[in-house]
Amino acid sequence: MQDFIWVGFVGAILALLFAFVQKGKVLKFSEGNETMQKIAASIRAGANAYLKQQYSSVAKVFAVVFIVLLIMAFATNGEMLSKFTPFAFLTGGIWSMLAGFIGMRIATKANARTAQAASESLNQGLRVAFSSGSVMGFTVVGLGMLDISIWFHLLYYVFGITDATTLGNIMVMNGMGASFMALFARVGGGIYTKAADVGADLVGKVEAGIPEDDPRNPATIADNVGDNVGDVAGMGADLYESYVGSILASFALSAAAGFGFAGMLLPMLLAVCGILCSIIGSFFVRTKEDASQKSLLKSLRTGTYLAALLSAALAAPLTYYTVGSWGVYISILCGLIGGCAIGYFTEYYTSDTYKPTQKLAASSETGSATVIIGGLSLGMKSTMASILIVSAAVIISFFAAGGNSSYSMGLYGIGISAVGMLSTLGITLATDAYGPVADNAGGIAEMSGLPEEVRERTDALDSLGNTTAATGKGFAIGSASLTALALLVSYVNIVESKGVDMNLALTNPAVLIGLFIGAMLTFVFSAFTMSAVQTAAQSRVGEVRRQFKEIKGIMEGKAEPDYAACVGLCTKGALHEMVAPALLAIIVPIVTGLVLGAEGVVGLLGGVSVTGFAMAVFMSNAGGAWDNAKKYIEAGHHGGKGSDCHKAAVVGDTVGDPFKDTSGPSLNILIKLCSTVSIVFSGLIISFNLMGLL
Amino acid sequence: MQDFIWVGFVGAILALLFAFVQKGKVLKFSEGNETMQKIAASIRAGANAYLKQQYSSVAKVFAVVFIVLLIMAFATNGEMLSKFTPFAFLTGGIWSMLAGFIGMRIATKANARTAQAASESLNQGLRVAFSSGSVMGFTVVGLGMLDISIWFHLLYYVFGITDATTLGNIMVMNGMGASFMALFARVGGGIYTKAADVGADLVGKVEAGIPEDDPRNPATIADNVGDNVGDVAGMGADLYESYVGSILASFALSAAAGFGFAGMLLPMLLAVCGILCSIIGSFFVRTKEDASQKSLLKSLRTGTYLAALLSAALAAPLTYYTVGSWGVYISILCGLIGGCAIGYFTEYYTSDTYKPTQKLAASSETGSATVIIGGLSLGMKSTMASILIVSAAVIISFFAAGGNSSYSMGLYGIGISAVGMLSTLGITLATDAYGPVADNAGGIAEMSGLPEEVRERTDALDSLGNTTAATGKGFAIGSASLTALALLVSYVNIVESKGVDMNLALTNPAVLIGLFIGAMLTFVFSAFTMSAVQTAAQSRVGEVRRQFKEIKGIMEGKAEPDYAACVGLCTKGALHEMVAPALLAIIVPIVTGLVLGAEGVVGLLGGVSVTGFAMAVFMSNAGGAWDNAKKYIEAGHHGGKGSDCHKAAVVGDTVGDPFKDTSGPSLNILIKLCSTVSIVFSGLIISFNLMGLL
């Protein structure tokens, strides 16, 4: 079977080619008038400057970790750590970075073009934005396939590692680099975008009373830069990690399940088939020139659902051909259906066409405190659907894949269901990544004074983006929890393969305390990321206030604010605040292991997976609902824009910003980073730990 | 050893006698002038009316559960459930209710007396309020000792159950009634008090701009009633449950650890010794007539620390005499020290004399959104200290008690450390329960127009109460997590004693999904309790607005508002909203067991303990910090009362109300109720579950 894994290269080339074609489509459009070009150039410059600085900060941390890994691997002659891992760590990081970077490049080129195209028609606007999203979506999956294929062939053919178990165990460690990079990108970008947003809103909208994206607001360019570095580059790195992580986790589980290389070929085939179906699906994303917002959503949905359905159909013969089990096929379906179901419930809880968000909007009648309480309880309540769906997916895919007779086969079922969930990532990510482009286009339309109707069209595109983003987050969170479970088991397999006997019972104090530490890590990590936004935003508020006061004539539009100062301040703030939470995620599992041993680490992974999942759903959904409740009021309910209700809702939205765009989405990565860090450092922890001394 | 358990009766009588003496001391004071008496009578009437209705609602639920238990026990002739359990369920509920009721009775008699005494001097005020708190504190521990002693002697001497294992397993089930009652009291009382508070604040303080406790506010009597039914009656039932639960859990672990009846005598002796030391300590709570607030706090601390120190010293010979192990003594010390340490960090995070709360107050400079973000992240960050302390207490007490050679002995160590933590509950609860009395006294002083200096004195007493309440909550939360772990293990022992072999490894999908469900239950339960406050508060806001509008002359003080309407509305609202969360706590563990089997239940207990603990700390501390940040601003910082900063801080305080007084403290009970429900229904779940069919 291993001879067929070259199919991964086919998938990679297909995806990258399609991305290239889409890029060409975007660039064919005009960037609009001079003002628009100038604004777009400022945003581009700000985003590039930020990413450049971010990468150079991250490079330092990567260098340190790389050296530590090198020492661990070579000083013990591969005993403590495979000699490949340090290099895989680097490549994983670089590809993940690249996935985000390319997505950001095209997004900063597509924003003004989308605004210009939207001045022709809604459909034209949609096409530019969606093409830009496609570039990112297909780049992510293409690079992911490439990374996995190259490493597989290197290890198998060049280094002659032909034992499936060994190969799987080495491959799964490759995830750490991608997770680590993703965490920096998500946290750093998330802090940047939300600090900019909160800062701009607090002084601009609330204090000075000028509209969003008003060129008089010094923070407005930084706000638009933030959309690109956070929602595009951060998300790209994040989903690259999810995609690669789910495939690698099933690699590691395949040998134990007795599927050998066939069980590794299957996720590759699923991914390639998903790429094909996504390409087909994306041809169906089109609408009439005079389309309504409703028909826009319909066209996006047609594309994604078509891709998912085609994938589901094609997966049947592929599964049967490779592992010869219909049960495994059911596991894959569980993933696909589970992802869609989580997406649906995410939409239910966060879209203003449903009751929960409407009720939240109504709670603004009694002030901002009740909006906050309402949003928090909505978010907490919404964990029920996601957790029940994931639980059902876990239990069904476990037993369907044969968990009753062979425990390892059941676990492979859980791992492959995550791959199923993410197989059509190409198109779901495209529909997701188009949102920030539309958001930017709106900003440019506003700043360059395009006619009202253009802004209305970009708003329609943007608001649609919120809905698709919710679905995308559903997939990311759902797959993260499944992958985390698969990684937890890989960890146990790897430790036990080194001859360590573990008591993993929940009644073992080391496991229990590990659980506690895992829950603690989730809460403290969320606290760090939230207070990072807070700190960064507060310094921003000061700067914006200073400019309003010191630069005469800003409010009359006579003098230009110092946009660059705000961009620079955001960059500095985000980079400064990004490091602590990221280090937390790498240090806590190692220290826990050194104190409590491998059993404690398993507890920690369980605790962080479970609490992190619940917390991620809670934060993302609460944030999304606050955002849409505000939009619902702005659409004319409960007094509309400028009313007291609106002001109360703005408070909710501001609190929701770090929830849904910084802390919430970072938790997915945290969960997986903890797992891969534990796997990579398992050799160290087995050799040295306090429990071993007792 | 069992012959000495009569010592429990001695402790009970001692505690109840002391409570009786303290009651006499309170009643000797004058209730003040006619207005004060009238207000106090209204509060008393409202509180009595509420509790009467609450008990009659709860009685119905108890009757249903009692019948179910009866059927389970007698239809299977004791196979599925001990025949004693249904009756123990009733007695546990009744005693827990009684503990809260007696505390509330005395508190509603002490409030006006405290106000009157405070008009003489601060010390006089302190003495009345503290005596009232002592009545509650010692009633709780006295009744707890009585309940345990009676059941022990009934089972041992009357029914001839002389096997330590069987006896321990029957006794531990007795906790369910107390937990169930406590949950109703905490949730119902918590909803009442916070709905009243939020309602009164939103319309009174924010909209109409009249001060707190202003007699023109129709919600003001209900607000004061709330302090009594929530912070007094609810807390009494809650801590009764903690106290009894910790002792019963160590009963259940004793036999397996090989300590037999000696291991049951030890917690009883510790409790009795704790009662004695608490009585001694309470004599040291006194201050000079012209005392400052600082010396007040010092006098309260002298009392509690003295009691703890004495207990620690006396515990050494007691432990050695009973179980003959110095290791177990270290476990007890772990509990005592751990409780104090959690108390200290709770104070650190929530008191305005430390940086975190001061920083939170400063974040009000940029508006209410940043206050909310700041408080949420403060609360999340604060979980670190509590979790690390509990983890250390668990691991040290496990190994000290001999966990390295005998697993069961280690677990007994964990159980007994919880008893150690709660041994001086008599005095810690007294310092805690005096707070709401002082709060009420302030309300009465304001409403009856006593001179400014009286209000200042009651404010000093009240603000001190916030600090001691924080310490009290530290003990409650810390002991809850230790007791929960002990109960989890009891559950496993009981299930395994029925011949069921369990795979409790974290890698077992049933356990993992159980963990997920446990986390979900925590989030959904918190959501329910928070939205209950929201719903109840919103109906209140409507009523207060209506009265301001329809009753002419309220604002001029010419017409009296319809206080009773608000009291009635609160009662109805709280009772209506109380049922769903309470049922959730009883139904989810049973359904999880029926679907996933006993292994899933163990996972659920782990998940709810870990996530529930983190969430309880998060919510309580965030709420406490918001409250004190507001008070800090009111004391003149950041612009003082009425400034924009103050308004922003009031939003934080309002969000914090359900956090710290409804959802947060209910979670402690939820954790233990889940455990005892699982234990009581273990026979049912073993006989019928879906996993058994696969």
Please judge whether B505 and A504 are an interchain contact, meaning their C-beta atoms are less than 8 angstroms apart.
yes
**Shortest CA distance from A524: residue in chain B:** B381
Longest dimension (CA), chain B: 77
**Shortest Cα–Cα distance, B367 to chain A (Å):** 8
pLDDT of residue A1: 64
Instruction: State the Cα angle at B65 between B63 and B70, rounded to 5°.
Output: 90
Mean pLDDT of A287-311: 81
Query: Where residue A343 falls among pLDDT bands split at 50, 70, 90?
Result: confident
Task: Assess whether pLDDT exceeds 90 at residue B499.
Answer: no
Query: Where residue B475 falls among pLDDT bands split at 50, 70, 90?
Result: confident
Phi (first) and psi of residue B505, to 5 degrees: -60, 145
Chain centroid to Cα B497, Å, comes to 32
pLDDT of residue B343: 85
A606 neighbors B602 (Cβ within 8 angstroms)? no
Range of weakest confidence among A19-28, A389-398, A539-548, B198-207: B198-207
Query: Where residue B235 falls among pLDDT bands split at 50, 70, 90?
Result: confident
Range of weakest confidence among A505-519, A647-661, B225-239, B668-682: B225-239
Q: Angle between the A509-550 and B368-400 helix axes, to the nearest 10 degrees?
A: 160
Please judge whether B369 and A202 are an interchain contact, meaning their C-beta atoms are less than 8 angstroms apart.
yes
pLDDT of residue B596: 92
Chain A residue numbers with beta carbons less than 8 Å from the beta carbon of B613 are 516, 519
Task: Assess whether pLDDT exceeds 80 at residue B376.
Answer: yes
Which of B373, B381, B533 lies closest to A524 in CB terms?
A: B381
Chain B residue numbers with beta carbons less than 8 Å from the beta carbon of A520 are 383-384, 387-388, 614
Global pTM value: 0.93
**Shortest Cα–Cα distance, A404 to chain B (Å):** 8
Mean pLDDT of B106-112: 92
Rounded CA separation A340/B26 (Å): 64
What SS3 class is residue B505? strand
Q: What is the pLDDT of residues B591-603, one digit of tens each?
A: 999 999 999 999 9
Is the pLDDT higher at A356 or at A230? A356
Phi (first) and psi of residue B285, to 5 degrees: -85, 90
pLDDT of residue B209: 74
- Candidates B202, B366, B689: best to mutate against A (most CBs of A within 10 A) is B366
Highest averaged pLDDT of the listed ranges B52-61, B142-151, B336-345 = B142-151
Is the pLDDT higher at B10 or at A255? B10
A617 neighbors A583 (Cβ within 8 angstroms)? no
Beta partners for residue B505, in sequence order: A505
Chain A residue numbers with beta carbons less than 8 Å from the beta carbon of B515 are 515, 606, 610
Please judge whether B524 and A613 are an interchain contact, meaning their C-beta atoms are less than 8 angstroms apart.
no
**Shortest CA distance from B413: residue in chain A:** A509
Please judge whether A614 and B611 are an interchain contact, meaning their C-beta atoms are less than 8 angstroms apart.
yes
- Give just the sign of the alpha carbon dihedral B584, B585, B586, B589: positive
Please judge whether A399 and B694 are an interchain contact, meaning their C-beta atoms are less than 8 angstroms apart.
yes
Task: Assess whether pLDDT exceeds 80 at residue A619.
Answer: yes
Report how many helices (DSSP H) and strands (DSSP E) chain A contains, helices first.
22, 0
What SS3 class is residue A119? coil
Task: Assess whether pLDDT exceeds 80 at residue B508.
Answer: yes
Phi (first) and psi of residue A505, to 5 degrees: -60, 145
Contacts of B643 (CB under 8 A, 6+ apart): B633
pLDDT of residue B448: 86
Q: Tell me, what amino acid is at B97?
A: M
Task: Assess whether pLDDT exceeds 80 at residue A294.
Answer: no
Q: Tell me, what amino acid is at B464?
A: L
Instruction: State the Cα angle at A61 between A58 and A65, rounded to 5°.
Output: 135
Helix (H) or strand (E) holding A532: helix A509-550
Which of A367, A534, A607 lies closest to B363 in CB terms?
A: A534
Mean pLDDT of A402-431: 89
- Candidates A349, A355, A360, A366: best to mutate against B (most CBs of B within 10 A) is A366
**Shortest Cα–Cα distance, A412 to chain B (Å):** 12
**Shortest Cα–Cα distance, A387 to chain B (Å):** 7
Q: What is the pLDDT of residues B623-682, one digit of tens each?
A: 999 998 998 998 889 988 888 899 999 999 989 988 988 898 899 889 989 998 999 898
**Shortest Cα–Cα distance, B529 to chain A (Å):** 9
Chain B residue numbers with beta carbons less than 8 Å from the beta carbon of A538 are 363, 366, 370
DSSP calls for B222-253: HHHHHIIIIIIIIHHHHHHHHHHHHHHHHHHH
Is the pLDDT higher at B191 or at B519? B519
**Shortest Cα–Cα distance, A603 to chain B (Å):** 7
Query: Where residue B694 falls among pLDDT bands split at 50, 70, 90?
Result: low
**Shortest Cα–Cα distance, A560 to chain B (Å):** 25
Chain A residue numbers with beta carbons less than 8 Å from the beta carbon of B671 are none
**Shortest Cα–Cα distance, A383 to chain B (Å):** 6
Please judge whether B651 and A531 are an interchain contact, meaning their C-beta atoms are less than 8 angstroms apart.
no
**Shortest Cα–Cα distance, B334 to chain A (Å):** 15
Range of weakest confidence among A192-201, A240-249, B500-509: A192-201
Phi (first) and psi of residue B55, to 5 degrees: -65, -35
pLDDT of residue A291: 66
- Candidates B253, B334, B371, B377: best to mutate against A (most CBs of A within 10 A) is B377
Task: Assess whether pLDDT exceeds 70 at residue B365.
Answer: yes
Mean pLDDT of B390-410: 90
Rounded CA separation B16/B137 (Å): 10
Rounded CA separation B482/B339 (Å): 11
Which of B377, B388, B511 lies closest to A530 in CB terms?
A: B377
Which tokens in the block code for residue B666? 């209910």
pLDDT of residue B312: 92
Range of weakest confidence among A208-217, A475-484, A511-520, B58-67: A208-217
pLDDT of residue A290: 66
Mean pLDDT of B226-234: 85
Task: Assess whether pLDDT exceeds 80 at residue A116.
Answer: yes
Which tokens in the block code for residue B608? 């709810």
**Shortest CA distance from B195: residue in chain A:** A370
Which of B373, B391, B515 lies closest to A516 in CB terms?
A: B391
Chain B residue numbers with beta carbons less than 8 Å from the beta carbon of A517 are 387, 391
Mean pLDDT of B198-206: 73
Half-sphere exposure of A536 (CA within 13 A, CB side): 38
Which tokens in the block code for residue B152? 């022990």
Please judge whether B506 and A610 are an interchain contact, meaning their C-beta atoms are less than 8 angstroms apart.
no
pLDDT of residue B290: 66
Task: Assess whether pLDDT exceeds 70 at residue B90.
Answer: yes
Task: Assess whether pLDDT exceeds 80 at residue A685.
Answer: yes
Chain A residue numbers with beta carbons less than 8 Å from the beta carbon of B650 are 369
Query: Where residue A13 falls among pLDDT bands split at 50, 70, 90?
Result: very high
**% of chain B beyond a pLDDT of 90:** 39
Task: Assess whether pLDDT exceeds 70 at residue A523.
Answer: yes
Lookup result for tokens 């609408």: A287
- Candidates B535, B610, B646, B647: best to mutate against A (most CBs of A within 10 A) is B610
Lookup result for tokens 């108890």: B62
Q: What is the pLDDT of residues A234-250, one digit of tens each?
A: 888 888 988 998 999 89
Please judge whether A614 and B372 are an interchain contact, meaning their C-beta atoms are less than 8 angstroms apart.
no
Please judge whether B534 and A383 are an interchain contact, meaning their C-beta atoms are less than 8 angstroms apart.
no
Please judge whether A513 and B367 are an interchain contact, meaning their C-beta atoms are less than 8 angstroms apart.
no
Model ipTM?
Answer: 0.92
Rounded CA separation B264/B325 (Å): 14
Highest averaged pLDDT of the listed ranges A44-53, A76-85, A591-600, B231-240 = A591-600
- Candidates A390, A507, A522, A659: best to mutate against B (most CBs of B within 10 A) is A507
Alpha-carbon distance values, A419 to A143, A246, A448, B470 (Å) = 16, 6, 44, 47
Query: Where residue B472 falls among pLDDT bands split at 50, 70, 90?
Result: confident
Alpha-carbon distance values, A284 to A125, A314, A440 (Å) = 16, 19, 25
pLDDT of residue B291: 66
Which tokens in the block code for residue A15? 């995806």
Which of B369, B374, B606 lies closest to A506 in CB terms?
A: B606
**% of chain A beyond a pLDDT of 70:** 98
- Candidates A203, A342, A345, A376: best to mutate against B (most CBs of B within 10 A) is A376
Mean pLDDT of A587-615: 94
Q: Angle between the B122-153 and B262-282 helix axes, to the nearest 10 degrees?
A: 160
Lookup result for tokens 């709660």: B422
Rounded CA separation A204/A216 (Å): 9
B513 neighbors B591 (Cβ within 8 angstroms)? no
Task: Assess whether pLDDT exceeds 90 at residue B124.
Answer: no
Interface contacts A/B by beta carbons within 8 Å:
245
